Amino acid sequence: MMEETFKICQGVYRVYMSYNELTPEQERVMVHRATEAPFSGEYDNFYDEGTFICRRCNSPLFSSKSKFNAGCGWPSFDDSFPNAIKRVPDPDGMRTEIECKNCGAHLGHEFIGEGLTYKNTRNCVNSLSIHFIPNHEELPKIINER
């Protein structure tokens, strides 16, 4: 865990950073695993160069170089950073859910075999789950609360 340790008297106390504060709508998607409406997210039609990070914990998830227009109404990526996302079976039994490997936040779903890119993968992500950092800005510190 990300922690700063302070020695006070003869005891050791740990101070932990909390995750970023979420709006009620972001919490609905990221914590309660809802889905934002298609074509409503700020990153659906967005193609600046930089890094998409987890809105909850700042963990880098996707490079803008892996983003493509799938026409589905949500930001789509055909690749993620190594060890950035966790894939779990969706409760519907038909899809694969993707979540931030660091904090467990719901990101969206992964689809394989659609032939939309040469990697044959589409990570369909809720804009509410990610935050964009342009290439010229420093990435924020990752929050490790779990």
Residues with a catalytic annotation lie at 124
Report, in angstroms and rounded to the nearest whole number, the Rg of the chain calculated over CA atoms.
Answer: 17
Nearest Cα neighbor of 61 from 52, 71, 50 is: 52
